[in-house]
Structure 1
Amino acid sequence: MGNTDKFEMIAQVYDTPERIHTAKVSSDAIRNYLVDAESKSAIDFGCGTGLVGMNLLDEFKSMLFLDTSPKMIQQIEQKISDANLQNVDTLCFDFEKTDLSDLRADYILMAQVLLHIPDVEFVLSRLFDVLNEGGHLLIVDFDKNEKVVSEFVHNGFRQAELASIMTRLGYKNIQSETFYTGSGIFMGQDASMFILDSRK
């Protein structure tokens, strides 16, 4: 997945107060879209150090933390060990390089992950295959921001354009809203974040 080498370098210092706060508002937004999730399985896709997924563990029957960065996975495994958690697992895996045909989940969470993925449509189609019938893909990311210029990440997304891509891939019942605006939260720029809920 995009920018894995950069995440490898910052894994041990990733959990800054700002990122912890952003993860909390993101997980609170996700929580509002969960339906009967306590009997369901979830994947925190591109989990990083697990900041979002850890906030939502009590909402699901089980959760898989998945990331391409071994050092990020080490951080989440340490958290799991320290808290003696039972209903969780980890997987270090790159969806863009290898197919994982036996992976299934009722919910997939992607918090500030899509902006790092060069081929958005390809990964969204792969995730569609992973979802169980009726399952949800929940995306949290930045609204399109023309002030952000980077060769490493997308400068956010227009919700309607993303919904259009996802509809073409087979996702349905798509709804989205902007839920948070913060100062300097996206590459040093003021920015807003949206949540998008979709079903298979």
Structure 2
Amino acid sequence: MSFDLKARTWDSDPEKRNRASLFAVEITGITAGSIINKALEFGCGTGLVSFNLKDKIRDIVLADNSRGMLEVLNEKINSAGASNMTIYHLNESNPLISAGTFDLVYTLLAIHHVKDLDRLFYDFGRIINPGGWLIIGDLYTEDGSFHINDPDFDGHRGFDPEDLKRRIIAEGFENLSIRTLDSIKKVTGSLVKEYPLFVLYGRKH
């Protein structure tokens, strides 16, 4: 999937906007009562989730490796005058581990594109402050048809969240919980298929 090519029309999909809003509501509910001064969105795309949170969090770093997505995001930040939102272009020179430290890291439908999940979770464990939150929204295990129109896709076919839970606990997180967030409907010919999403969240001890 070329996210650079899709960046200009990404926000025009009402389902993407609604899903981002729903995830932001989940984040707000999960972290209620916690002091969140600085947050990072991993795989931010055009920032749909973070724009729902920008008035609730003092500073937000938005990280992605798609230059096209970040160009659109930069335009949105400038247009909104959102001075508390900062872009971080993930690449070999700017690895996640160097992005800073955070009270909250959240990510929606991004980690199934990451091959080395153990490294990603290791990095999450180093950039999240003690007591800070990790909140992941992604696909339950699916049959591979979710990316059927993306022949170059070489990521994960969703996840068993219990497996992710075990791997994340190994990086110093505790009190992890899982619940169903939503589902994505895709139409192929006359067939409508639903792909459920989970939210997995916990705190760094």
TM-score by length of 2: 0.85
61 and 149 in structure 1: CA distance in 2 versus 1, 3 angstrom threshold: closer
* Counterpart position of 2:68: 71
Give me the whole-angstrom Cα distance separating, in 2, the residues matched to 1:173 and 1:95.
32
Give me the whole-angstrom Cα distance separating, in 2, the residues matched to 1:27 and 1:14.
18
* Counterpart position of 1:197: 201
The CA deviation at 1:68 is 0.8
Alignment of 1:21-60 (within 5 A): 21-37=18-34, 39-60=36-57
* Counterpart position of 2:9: 13
Does the CA-based 8 Å contact 2:88-2:99 persist in structure 1?
no
Partner SS, residue 58 of structure 1: coil
Partner SS, residue 159 of structure 2: coil
The CA deviation at 1:162 is 0.8
Count how many residue pairs are aligned between Structure 1 and Structure 2: 194
Give me the whole-angstrom Cα distance separating, in 2, the residues matched to 1:69 and 1:154.
19
The CA deviation at 1:38 is 5.6
Give me the identity figure in percent.
24
The CA deviation at 1:169 is 1.9
Give me the whole-angstrom Cα distance separating, in 1, the residues matched to 2:18 and 2:40.
21
Alpha carbon RMSD of aligned pairs, Å?
2.2
Q: 1:81 corresponds to which letter in structure 2?
A: N
32 and 39 in structure 1: CA distance in 2 versus 1, 3 angstrom threshold: closer
Alignment of 1:121-160 (within 5 A): 121-146=118-143, 148=145, 151-160=153-162
Question: CA-to-partner distance for each residue in 1:131-170, whole Å, 9 max, x for gaps?
Answer: 1111111101111112537542311111111101111222
Deviates more, 1:132-141 or 1:36-45: 36-45
* Counterpart position of 2:150: none
Partner SS, residue 107 of structure 1: strand
Partner SS, residue 152 of structure 1: coil
7 and 96 in structure 1: CA distance in 2 versus 1, 3 angstrom threshold: farther
Give me the whole-angstrom Cα distance separating, in 2, the residues matched to 1:39 and 1:167.
21
The CA deviation at 1:9 is 1.6
Q: 1:71 corresponds to which letter in structure 2?
A: G
Q: Which runs of 5+ in 2 are unaligned?
A: 148-152
Give me the whole-angstrom Cα distance separating, in 1, the residues matched to 2:135 and 2:92.
17
TM-score by length of 1: 0.87
